[in-house]
Every structure is written in structure tokens, then in C-alpha cells.
Amino acid sequence: MKHIVIILLVSLSLLGCQSKLEDTKKQFFLPPATTYNYVEIDSVKLFYREAGDKSKPTIVLLHGYPSSSHSYRNLIPMLATHYHVIAPDNLGSGYSTHLDPATTTYTFDLLSDYTEQLIDKLQIKNYVLYMQDFGAPVGYRMMMKNPKRIEALIVQNANAYLDGLTPKRQDFFRTAQTDTSQVKYDFLYSLTSKNAIINKQYLFDLDSTNINIQSPDAWTHDLAFLRSKSDREIQVQLFKDYNNNLIRYPKWQKMLRENQPKTLIVWGKKDLKFNYKGAKAYLRDLPNADLYLLDAGHFAAEEKTREVGKLILDFLSHHEIE
């Protein structure tokens, strides 16, 4: 009888352990794996990160300067729990082909054309468009061609209004295009240096309250692709072309006004390059947009990944994009 009781107790104990294990399993939720892929277009390889169920709506993440899809390494797993996510590297950035700038002139028209071909090659018809920094001039060019393709728009420190640029900043872009002197070139080239990438790009708008949440992985990765003179020249050419975006702002605004896409604006309010007035300006043309000013700088998705991810998921769920 004693042995039977012991066996019974052991059995109950094992059942209890099994029950706890099952409960523990229920608590764990692992996001889909991210894969790393290439698409070849006209002998050019475009790199992209992909995650999530392809039967779900697609979110396309467009990165800014001086980075790549690496910017979204932490955001992708969060979004991929509910959506199919594509994050490409621009032509000339990250792992995508870096065509020689001596024979290829880099413009935002060129970047947009290749990114659009990548999406077409992946047979993605409609998608949610997320844009940050350089991602805006790439994304808006794509959107201008077929606004109805965009199921929703997510704007993260992605400017389309002069309000978001100080007069000094506007002059920077204008003279980058018009001033062809060696002095101006040398200045633009200096902005692609190690010191400039770290201190004038990533840490420029951070203070003691949020400087420690900016991962050094970001600039370490970026600088790995800015080691050669050729790589840095690519970015200089894009600086020179950027004023064409300012010229197109009115057309982009008109397109937004006429199409009224479902829009989420998530903006790091400490951004000194694309300031928060540029975020608020969107409401003139998109009065129904959701606007959130975060305690972050230009790279809000790097600094506040969880907050940005939750805002996106809540926004898309509210609009029944699922």
C-alpha cells in the first residue's frame, strides 16, 4: 500500500510538472524567422530582409540615410508576428549592389525605380508603406505612380513639407545641388566620414535621457558600407539630388490630399534635422491621420522599437488591415 501511495504521488507530481510545462509553452511566442535574400534586376542584386506569413498583408519598410534594412532588425520580428514584412536595401546601400558612381549617377528616381521593380518581382500587388528619411523620396515616387497600391501609410521622420526643415536646412539641400565648387563637394564628402555618421547623424539629436538606448550596432553596420571613396561618393550624389525632393513636395502633398490614405505619423520629436513641425504639417492634407510625437530623435524606430511597433500594430488592427 505504501508503494502504491508513493507511485501515486510521483505520478501526480509528474502530471503537475507536465501541466506547468504546458502552461509555460503557452506563454512563449516566438516570432517568425527573418530570411536574407536577393533579387536580381538587370544584373544588379538587390538585398532584402523578409519575415512573416506571405498570405498576410505586406508591410514594406524603406530605410533612410546612411543605413539599410539593418535599421529594422528589431522592428521586423515584432511586425512579422501579424504581417508579411519586406525590408529592402536601396541600390548603393547595405548589401545591395553598389554600382560605380563614376558611371552611374545616383538619384532618388533611380533608387525608387529599382525598389519598385523588386516589389513587382516579389509579386506584391498592394502593401503598407513605411518610410523614414531617404525612404520618403523613394516611397513617394512609388506612390505617385499608383497611389491605390498603398493600403496604409506609416511616416516616421520622413519629410514631405518645408515646415519640417529650418531655413538653414533648406539652404543646405539647395546649395548641395547648385554649388558645384570643390569646397562644397569636400564638405558633403565629410558628412560621410566616421565622425559625422556617429556624431552628426546618430547622436546629433540625443541627450542624456536617451543616448544609451541608441545601439552602436547601427553606425558600425553603416560604416562598414562606407569604407571606400566610391561608397561615400554614392551618398554625396544623393545629397546633391535631394533638393529635387523639396521641389516635388507640393505634388506629393496634392497626391496625399486627393487620395487620403490611412496614415500613421510616428515622429521622434527631438529630431533636429526633420523637426516635428514637419509631422504636424501632414495634418493639413491628412486631417484623419494618427499623429504621435515620441521622446526620440531622427532614428525613432532604433530608439523606441517597442513603442513604434505597438503603434503600428494597433493602427493596422484598428483599420482592419489584417
* Mean pLDDT over each residue of the chain, to the nearest integer: 92
| Average pLDDT of span 233-245 | 98
pLDDT tens readout for residues 101-144: 999 999 999 999 999 999 999 999 999 999 999 999 999 999 99
* DSSP H stretches of helix in the chain: 2-27, 75-80, 108-121, 135-145, 167-178, 182-190, 194-195, 217-224, 229-241, 243-259, 277-285, 300-303, 305-318
pLDDT of residue 29: 75
Task: Quote the CA–CA distance of 269 and 198 in Å, as a whole number.
Answer: 19
In order of their start, the domains of the chain are 35-165+244-318 (3.40.50.1820)
Residue 250's pLDDT band (boundaries 50, 70, 90)?
A: very high
Spell out the residues 6+ positions from residue 284 whose beta carbon is closer than 8 angstroms to its own: 253
User: From CA 309, how far away is CA 75, in angstroms rounded?
Assistant: 6
Active site residues: 298
Residue 180's pLDDT band, with cuts at 50, 70 and 90, is very high
259: which 3 cell numbers? 487620395
CA pair distance 159, 59, nearest whole angstrom: 20
Angle separating helix axes 182-190 and 167-178, nearest 10 degrees: 120
- Residue 304 buriedness (CB in 10 A; 0-12 / 13-18 / 19+): buried
pTM: predicted TM-score of the whole model, two decimal places: 0.91
Closest CA to 301 of 85, 32, 64: 64
